[in-house]
Amino acid sequence: MVTMHYADFAWESAAQLLAIDSPTGFTAKAALWAKEAFGKLGFAATITEKGGVLIDLGGENLNDGLLLAAHTDTLGGMVAQVKGNGRLRLTALGGMSPNNGEAENVRVYTREGKVYEGTFQLCNASVHVNKDYSSAPRTFDSCEVVLDEKVESAKDTAALGIQTGDIVCFDPRTRRTESGYLKSRFLDDKLSVGILLGFAKYIADNKITLKRKTYVYITVYEEVGHGGSGSIPAGVTEAISVDMGCVGDGLACTERQVSICAKDSGGPYSYEVVGKLIDAAKKTGADYAVDVYPYYGSDVEATLRAGFDIRHGLIGAGVYASHGYERSHIDGVYNTLKVICGYLKV
């Protein structure tokens, strides 16, 4: 049976990936890291034309294949305007919200490969100067990137090589507490990439041949809705997103559990697959919760919308404060690994 050792490996892998900036549309470095990480475990991995990573975990039954999907693209920003004062107005990549991005350190990547630091702030951000500081709405028009460079005009910023379309990445601030809590921006969904690496290491270490053909698909456009819309291998009959489990008011899941999603904004998941996931949790002793996510969409729903004839499911370690400074727990990672192993009967 899978042990906590593989959960620790999953977190260590996720922490390495979290150190690589990869907002939607800027994922090449993270995808290459994932390809090499699975390759080190002995699994063939290819980068798709779209930029995702498809990994073959082997398996016997070619006509009843399973695809496990996670995504390495994250929220972020793009320069929409270099303002007259030399600061940057952003547009969101994915569901990045200025409300929880405010006061965060950022990195600006130019087309020439230069990287500049700055901070995402409310315009006129000094509370001792701005009488409307507390009441001002936080939007991408009322906030700006203040560069840590001597710039006072659009011309000064342009001289650095910064232009419209450049990528802006928010500092993840990754850490693990002594009590096992995992805190970082972008646990959605780099934590799940780590979990799938932990599963791959488990079957590699134990020389397990899976009963059914199994693939891992690391997508790179999930945060904008079309990550899982292509590159599905022939013979795949089921696809399961391993993504963040929702934690919040009205839901049962905690960060220490694995969440099994019965329905989200895209409708119900396959009743058969959800049932088998629940059975897998029970048989492996995983601490789990079944929930309905009110505002959510997944890679495997994009797969269905693209016309693929599959059954679909969604699981993930519980993650609190999604799309903000997120928190999970190593127990949630371990319980997710248990369900994956139970589902594949290894």
Q: What is the pLDDT along the chain (346 residues), one digit of tens a residue?
A: 999 999 999 999 999 999 999 999 999 999 999 999 999 999 999 999 999 999 999 999 999 999 999 999 999 999 999 999 999 999 999 999 999 999 999 999 999 999 999 999 999 999 999 999 999 999 999 999 999 999 999 999 999 999 999 999 999 999 999 999 999 999 999 999 999 999 999 999 999 999 999 999 999 999 999 999 999 999 999 999 999 999 999 999 999 999 999 999 999 999 999 999 999 999 999 999 999 999 999 999 999 999 999 999 999 999 999 999 999 999 999 999 999 999 999 9
Residue 294 backbone phi and psi in degrees, to 5: -75, -30
List the catalytic residue out of 144, 222, 223, 238.
222
Exposure of 6 in the CB half-sphere (CA atoms within 13 A) = 24
222 as an active site residue: the answer is yes
Side chain identity at residue 202, one-letter code: Y
- Please tell me whether residue 236 adopts helix, strand or coil conformation: strand
For the segment(s) 4-74+186-343, the CATH number from 3.40.630.10, 3.40.50.300, 3.20.20.120, 3.90.850.10 is: 3.40.630.10
Contacts of 243 (CB under 8 A, 6+ apart): 69, 70, 71, 188, 189, 192, 222, 298, 299, 314, 315, 316
By DSSP bridging, strand 104-109 and strand 115-122 are antiparallel
CATH 3.40.630.10 domain span(s) along the chain = 4-74+186-343
pTM for the full model?
0.98
76-170: CATH topology is Elongation Factor Tu (Ef-tu); domain 3 (2.40.30)
